[in-house]
Structure formats: structure tokens, C-alpha cells
Structure 1
């Protein structure tokens, strides 16, 4: 397994992590996490709110990750998040953070969290208060490293001035490249790691989605603009071109998309989410895909920046 380092404080993780958001809290998910760890995946991403999306209880996904990795704690890097609420908007004040970290530690069943993200920036709380509080958690030994999720460049710079930011997590893939404008250049400048979520375009870039009916009735993606009407048709056409190129290279669409993402910088660690171990293994195959200058040119031709029809949320 290839390793990469997030930030300048030495957090080493596998070059690909595993997003666990859609995993139900059951024995099959525990098995998948164990097998992922066995084949070299060391970074596992969750959040306090994950689980509610599947009509489960708050913290349910953290409970899954915690019980799956508790007895192999020294082999895993566990990242979780706070700050997303359904009724009060994003939260980042000192009292909320202290309450949230204790709740996450309880759900995880662990003594500390490796990487703790603010899930969304709270415009009503100065980032200096948020990061100052998180820095205190580092001193207290409750967390090891600090991260931000979906934060704009100016907030990242202000946050990093208070305490080193180890990683920023934001959506990034062939069909969501907004971070290339301001965020990625800033992360390179400051030496901050980058963790792209939805690196396979919420499944679109796997080549497995051919028609709207491929999404089950309860699939949350049915509500996203990019999966609806004419947008869906246009996006499927581009996904087919990516699939064709992947076939010529002897890899899967997912492997091609992830290889492109990994090639954008050695500070980038994508966290594709899946509930299946065969998909984990397929994704890891991206580490063996070598892209030539001609490949990059072809990718830019068939899926240029901004090609995706519809908003990403």
C-alpha cells in the first residue's frame, strides 16, 4: 500500500482512504472495514451526523467505525467531524465543540480522535474561536490533528494562522473541480493535506449508472440536480466517454478517475465511499494506473473543467 502524509505534522495514511457515510451499522459493514484494513487501507472517515441520512440515530456511523476498529486502534487513522445540524445551521462555538467531541468519543468508544474536522464553517462564530477551541482539544489529548471541511480559502488561511491545519476535506473529482481555483493553490502554499470526498462523482464516474431508474427509490442522489432530467442525460454521456477511455487503458472507470485525482498532488488522499469490499479492492487498483501526458490531454478533452450539468448539491 502506498502511503501519503497529510499536513506538515507527520500524519501518515494510506494513499486511499475509506468513506463510511453510507455504511449501515451491522456485521457486514464491520467485516468490510476489517478487510479494508487487512489490505492496507488505514484512513477511515466518518462524522457525528452520519447515520441520520439512513434514518438511524445521531452518531450511529461513529459507533460502527469505533466498534470495527477499537481492537485494532494502532493500525487505523480515524477521522470524524462536528458542526452540521438540521435545525440550527453550522455550529462552531466553544461550548458546542466541547459537547460534540465528548459525544463523538463516546460513540466511537475511543480515548482520542486522530483527525477532527469542522464539518461546515459557522459564519456566526469567528474561526479564531473555533480553531482555538480545537487547539485546546489537542492539548487535552482528545484529538491529534485539526481539519476543516468545505471551508473557503480565506477561512482556511485564518484558521491555519491560529493552529496548523492538517487537512481540508472537500468534494473533488473530474466533475467537481471548483477547488482548483483557490483552495488547492492555498493548500500547496501552506503545506496542508487535501482529502477529496465523493471522488467518483457520487457514483457517476464508476460507469455503473446508465439511467435514472438505476437509482433505487430511496437513493438520496435522486434529489441532486446532476441526477435529474437533461442534466442526467448530459452527464451520462460524458461518463460513457470516460468508461470508453478506461477500457482502452485496461482499467475501470473508477480506477481512471481516482488515478487522475491522485496525480494532482502527493498531498491528496481521496476517500471513496462504498459498502462493498470488492469495490474497495477495485478502487485500490487505481494506485497501479499510470497516466501519460497524452492521457491527461484526453481526459481534459472529454471531461473539461466545469463540464458537469447541474449544481453539485
Structure 2
């Protein structure tokens, strides 16, 4: 596994995004299965786990606390505040007092004294980013978190935040079919010494090649059904890209998922990836991709095949775009 820096830490370039164990993609796995997957990840050498207060409205943090607390010294723990469940609804709230209260609750659920990397999950447009980051800086001073991150923000917001306190990481969606980070944030991260953490590096399952008909394969509560590029008409066009993509993977002897992850890591050395999965088989498959180094000509072939000009449909609907700060093509 390649190893990369994130703030004061050095971890495997591929970590584990834990959201799907509790949240977002339909019915989550049973607790026993989720716990087993987390233990397998540890056994396979994963040393970077990513969760959030939002996931399962606290249930995901509690799961990680129950399963991973005895091994706390063996991994870097990341969680998020600023977007939580309140009375059964998702709420974005970046007020300093809310962020500090969320951290206190998270520490209890995670069964730890300190969170290694704590992200502002969403920029609350009603609260200056300087105020939200200032509250996180207080938590660093108090020893409750070790490093600060931001999620789904623009380069401008990153620079404003970094002026208040060094930002160790920016986490945003990034994959062959979600390239908005290339507009400005990837370069801003590089200039500031900030790691970039790619969530959904497998295109929310698209790049694995197993999702052929979202309308019939996904349950009604799966968040992908509200994303324009997963609509029947758009997806029918997007899936046509996979034949050539899978041909390239086969030529190289990799799975579709491994090729997608290797592409992300090949983009720049300050990028890490946190694919999520509920499958032990897919977990091991994903981690193996951390050993792959793609030749420049392969990266160029993939760039030309799947990009913002060849993918049909936006990554989010209008309501979600109104809540995030990232640049858009």
C-alpha cells in the first residue's frame, strides 16, 4: 500500500469510508456484519477510518466506538461536525457552540479522548467560515481534536479557513466521473500543504460496473436515485462508457474498481481515497488498488474516456448544490 501524509499523520493511501455501514445507500447491514467488516479492515492494515455525526444520526460513530476503541492506537480517526440529525432531519449548523457540542457527543460515541481529524462537514452559509474554523481551532487547543478538515468547499473558502488555522485536509467527491475538484481545489490544497481526501472515488458504484439499472437495483431510500446522473435516461448514456473502461481494466489485469482507485491516486501525490463498502470481498479488492501505479499513458486514456464532457447529468440535484460550496463546471 502506498502511504501518504494527511496533516501530522502518515497513513495508507486508501482508507475506509464508513458511511454505508449506517447511512444513505438503502438498508444498512446488520450490526454484526458491519462490525465484522471493520475488524477485517483493521486486519488488512487499514489505518484511516472516516465517519461523521450525520451518518445514521450518530449510529456510525457509535459503531466505530464499540468495535474499534480497543485498537485506537492503531489508526487515524476522522469524523465530521456541522451537519447532523436533529429531530429526525438533516440540519446544517456551523455555529461555534453547535460544533463544540457535536464534538463532545462524538467523543463519547467514539469512546475516545481525541479525534485525529475533525472536518466541518458542510460550510454553513449563515456563519462566517472564520467563526466555524475558529471553534475547531479552540478544540485543537483543548486537546479534543488534533487536526482540522473541511468538506465540499471551494478554493476561496479553503484559503479563508487556512488563514485562521492550518487546514489538514479537504474532503470532496472525486473520481473519473466527478472532476470538479480539478477546477481549483486540488491545486489550492497542494499550495497550502493540505491533503485532499476523495470520497466516492468509485463514482458511487458506477465505476465498479455492477450497477446496470439503478431504478431496479436500488431501494427507494438510496440517495443515488435523487442524483441526476443516475436517472434512467442519463444512466443509459453513461453506462455506454463502461465497455471501453472495462476493456482497459482487463488489459491491465485489474478489476474495474481497482482501476478507478488507482486513477485517483495517480492524479497527485497529496490525494487519498476513502471508498466505502459493506462487502468483505470488495474491501480487500479496493485495498489492493493501493499497490497499483498506473503508467501516464493509461491515465491519459482514462481521462479522455470518462470526464465532465462525456458524463451525462450533474452529480447532485439543485437542492443539494444549494448547500455546498464547491466550484462547478
Q: What's the CA shift string for 1:117-157, capped at 9, x where partnerless?
A: 00000111111111111111011111011000001111100
Whether 1:268 and 2:276 are equivalent positions in the alignment is: no
SS in 2 for 1:216: coil
Length-normalised TM-score, structure 1? 0.93
The alpha-carbon distance between structure 1 residues 5 and 162, as it changes in their structure 2 partners (threshold 3 A), is same
Residue in 2 aligned with 1:278? 281
Q: What does residue range 132-151 of structure 1 map to in structure 2 within 5 Å?
A: 132-151=134-153
Aligned pairs, number: 305
Given the alignment, which residue of 33, 38, 56 partners 1:33? 38
Q: What does residue range 216-227 of structure 1 map to in structure 2 within 5 Å?
A: 216-227=219-230
Q: What's the CA shift string for 1:244-264, capped at 9, x where partnerless?
A: 210111101111111010011
Q: What's the CA shift string for 1:192-251, capped at 9, x where partnerless?
A: 001010000000000111223232344332222111122111111112321121011110
Residue in 2 aligned with 1:4? 4
1: CA distance between counterparts of 2:249 and 2:90?
44
Cα pair 1:175 1:306 within 8 Å, conserved: no
Residue in 2 aligned with 1:200? 202
2: CA distance between counterparts of 1:223 and 1:169?
22
SS in 1 for 2:10: strand
Structure 1 position 2, deviation (Å): 2.7
Q: What does residue range 3-82 of structure 1 map to in structure 2 within 5 Å?
A: 3-7=3-7, 10-24=8-22, 26-51=31-56, 58-82=57-81
Q: What does residue range 239-250 of structure 1 map to in structure 2 within 5 Å?
A: 239-250=242-253
Residue in 1 aligned with 2:126? 124
SS in 2 for 1:22: helix
Cα pair 2:178 2:307 within 8 Å, conserved: no
Structure 1 position 165, deviation (Å): 0.4
Structure 1 position 48, deviation (Å): 0.4
Residue in 1 aligned with 2:237? 234
Cα pair 2:175 2:198 within 8 Å, conserved: yes
Whether 1:308 and 2:311 are equivalent positions in the alignment is: yes
Cα pair 1:196 1:270 within 8 Å, conserved: yes
Residue in 2 aligned with 1:180? 182
SS in 2 for 1:174: coil
Given the alignment, which residue of 293, 298, 301 partners 1:298? 301
Which deviates further from its counterpart, 107-116 or 18-27?
Answer: 18-27
SS in 1 for 2:264: helix
Which deviates further from its counterpart, 233-242 or 177-186?
Answer: 233-242
The alpha-carbon distance between structure 1 residues 216 and 182, as it changes in their structure 2 partners (threshold 3 A), is same
Residue in 2 aligned with 1:55? none
Unaligned runs of 5+ in 1: 52-57
Indicate the RMSD between aligned Cα atoms, in angstroms.
1.5
Unaligned runs of 5+ in 2: 23-29, 317-329
Which stretches of structure 1, 4 residues or longer, exceed 4 Å deviation after superposition? 85-89
Cα pair 1:43 1:79 within 8 Å, conserved: yes
Which deviates further from its counterpart, 35-44 or 84-93?
Answer: 84-93
The one of the two structures with greater contact order (alpha-carbon pairs below 8 A, sep at least 6) is: 2
Cα pair 2:246 2:256 within 8 Å, conserved: yes
